[in-house]
């Protein structure tokens, strides 16, 4: 049993032409074919400044709607869009077929000399850019006939085909044949609506709607590769979000803008405080974070990251309801520490009290056989002050009191536990200390590890591998 195929038609550019295409598709007698047509009609702005962009945006909106409906192939019965349909296709994974592509696909080895019926003001968009074959000889109407074609196009658009339009078009067809045209191609859907009547007069006019329908039935319905897209739940806090994105940009080996990968940031600073929830029974941030993740999922993100250590305690509640994986910041960083320092790592953790209480670092470190230490109560208060204090990182400070408070915590860990690796386990802390292998504290050189920097490197690694596999950015 063959699989049912659904074809979507962008009908609003020329509804009569769309109906002709639908009729041709149905006449081909494919019982496994389903056809969907869009309902909105394109409104032409008389201002030429917006003419092309309005048309592009209309086609994109309609194509996007059809893609969301789950069609297998999108048809655009329009000649003008041939010059820019690739711009739309680049943003949509469902294959799109336009009139130009259809004609190209149906051309055999022997291409006849073609007389082209098109309007003068459409030449640049359609026939002029429509290099159907390098072997093809194309004959265009005279300047006088072009002016007449312009007027006919507007008349047909407003009133539909008539005896008068058929008569006028037939005369122009004869002129093209006198110049050597073997077949006449209506390179405008308005003219194509007159095909049947012109054929009755014995004129060799190509039925472009029939050609389009036949091409649609054989055209591939395989989805195009999806560009890699990273989702970022931001606002926890805002400065940390900016910091992480900056690190992703800097970690990407790009020579120009286009060599970076897509990132969607769902910035919500109103998400309730994660530490307050974990330590004091404050408002639960789960639903707010889950809503952000759902938005990123709907936007087609391949992975989601959160530049907030404490927020990772809530991930197990969310991931079981999502289809998009998270890149675990803590695990990524611990893996990097393990690879770099091996069993010699004595790790000190500077983080919020909520992060420490959840064990989201210590439990993972324990599974890896890694020793991890935290400040005592007094020095933990210093770390919390560096984060939440009046002159702490969340208040926008990165030097002065917050630096001194954080240094006290670091000094305690090095002196007390001989730590040689210090984790900046709150995404605000890398705004105060910077990642380095030789940070001097208590007379020793220790490594400062920034989880957001390791996360950025991991994101770039995954993005590059995915882009290479899919062959598209």
CB–CB of 172/143 below 8 Å? no
Distances in whole angstroms, Cα of residue 435 to Cα of each of 356, 407, 415, 459: 21, 14, 20, 18
> Whose structure tokens read 């192939």?
73
Q: Check 81, 277, 301, 426 and give the catalytic one.
A: 426
Question: Would strands 444-449 and 436-441 be described as parallel, antiparallel, or unpaired?
Answer: antiparallel
Residues 421-442: b if buried by 16+ CB within 10 A, e if exposed: bbbbbbbbbbbbbebeeebebe
The contacts of residue 60 (CB under 8 Å, 6+ apart) are 88, 91, 92
Q: Check 81, 277, 308, 402 and give the catalytic one.
A: 308
End-to-end CA gap in the chain: 36
Helix (H, G, I), strand (E, B) or coil at 170: helix
SS (H, E, C) 192-247: HCCHHHHHHCCCCECCHHHHHHHHHHHCCCCCCCCCCEEEEEECCCHHHHHHHHHH
Taking Cα atoms as reference points, which of 233, 241, 426 lies closest to residue 318? Answer: 233
How far apart CA 367 and CA 370 sit, in angstroms, is 8
Question: Residue 358: CA atoms inside 13 Å, Cβ hemisphere, count?
Answer: 24
Per-residue DSSP letter, 396: T
Taking Cα atoms as reference points, which of 48, 47, 51, 25 lies closest to residue 36? Answer: 25
Instruction: Indicate the burial class of 155 (C-beta count within 10 angstroms; 0-12, 13-18, 19 or more).
Output: middle
Q: In what order do the strands lie in the sheet with 183-186?
A: 138-140, 114-117, 183-186
User: Dihedral through CA 205, CA 208, CA 214, CA 215, nearest 10?
Assistant: 130
> Whose structure tokens read 């897509």?
262
How far apart CA 31 and CA 2 sit, in angstroms, is 10
Element (H, E) at 64: helix 48-69
SS (H, E, C) 68-95: HHCCCEEEECCCHHHHCHHHHHCCCCCC
Residue 292 bears catalytic tag? no
Active site residues: 308, 426
């Amino acid at each position: 049993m063959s699989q049912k195929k659904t074809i979507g038609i962008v009908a609003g550019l020329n509804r009569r032409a769309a109906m002709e295409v639908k009729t041709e598709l149905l006449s081909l007698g494919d019982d496994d074919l389903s056809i969907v047509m869009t309902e909105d009609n394109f409104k032409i702005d008389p201002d030429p400044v917006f003419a092309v962009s309005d048309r592009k945006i209309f086609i994109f909106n309609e194509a996007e709607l059809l893609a969301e409906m789950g069609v297998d192939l999108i048809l655009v019965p329009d000649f003008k869009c041939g010059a820019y349909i690739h711009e739309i296709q680049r943003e949509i994974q469902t294959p799109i077929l336009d009139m130009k592509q259809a004609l190209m696909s149906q051309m055999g080895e022997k291409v006849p000399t073609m007389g082209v019926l098109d309007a003068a003001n459409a030449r640049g968009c359609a026939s002029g850019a429509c290099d159907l074959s390098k072997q093809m000889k194309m004959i265009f109407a005279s300047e006088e006939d072009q002016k007449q074609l312009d007027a006919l196009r507007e008349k047909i658009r407003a009133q539909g085909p008539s005896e008068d339009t058929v008569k006028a078009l037939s005369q122009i067809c004869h002129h093209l044949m006198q110049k050597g045209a073997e077949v006449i191609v209506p390179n405008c859907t308005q003219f194509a609506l007159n095909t049947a009547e012109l054929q009755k007069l014995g004129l060799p006019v190509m039925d472009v709607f029939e050609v389009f329908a036949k091409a649609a039935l054989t055209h591939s319905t395989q989805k195009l590769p999806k560009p890699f897209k990273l989702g970022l739940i931001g606002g926890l806090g805002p400065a940390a979000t900016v910091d992480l994105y900056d690190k992703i940009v800097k970690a990407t080996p790009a020579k120009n803008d286009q060599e970076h990968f897509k990132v969607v940031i769902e910035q919500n600073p109103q998400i309730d405080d994660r530490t307050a929830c974990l330590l004091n029974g404050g408002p639960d941030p789960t639903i707010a974070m889950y809503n952000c993740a759902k938005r990123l999922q709907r936007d087609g993100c391949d992975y989601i990251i959160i530049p907030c250590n404490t927020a990772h305690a809530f991930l197990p509640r969310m991931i079981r309801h999502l289809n998009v994986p998270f890149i675990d910041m803590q695990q990524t960083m611990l893996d990097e520490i393990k690879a770099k320092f091996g069993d010699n790592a004595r790790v000190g953790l500077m983080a919020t009290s909520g992060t420490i209480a959840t064990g989201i670092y210590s439990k993972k470190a324990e599974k890896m056989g890694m020793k991890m230490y935290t400040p005592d109560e007094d020095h933990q208060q210093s770390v919390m002050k560096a984060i939440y204090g009046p002159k702490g990182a969340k208040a926008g400070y990165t030097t002065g009191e917050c630096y001194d408070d954080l240094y006290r915590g670091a000094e305690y860990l090095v002196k007390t536990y001989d730590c040689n690796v210090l984790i900046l386990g709150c995404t605000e802390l890398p705004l105060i200390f910077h990642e380095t292998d030789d940070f001097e504290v208590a007379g020793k050189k220790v490594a400062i590890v920034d989880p957001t920097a390791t996360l950025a490197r991991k994101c770039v690694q995954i993005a590059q591998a995915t882009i290479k596999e899919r062959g598209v950015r």
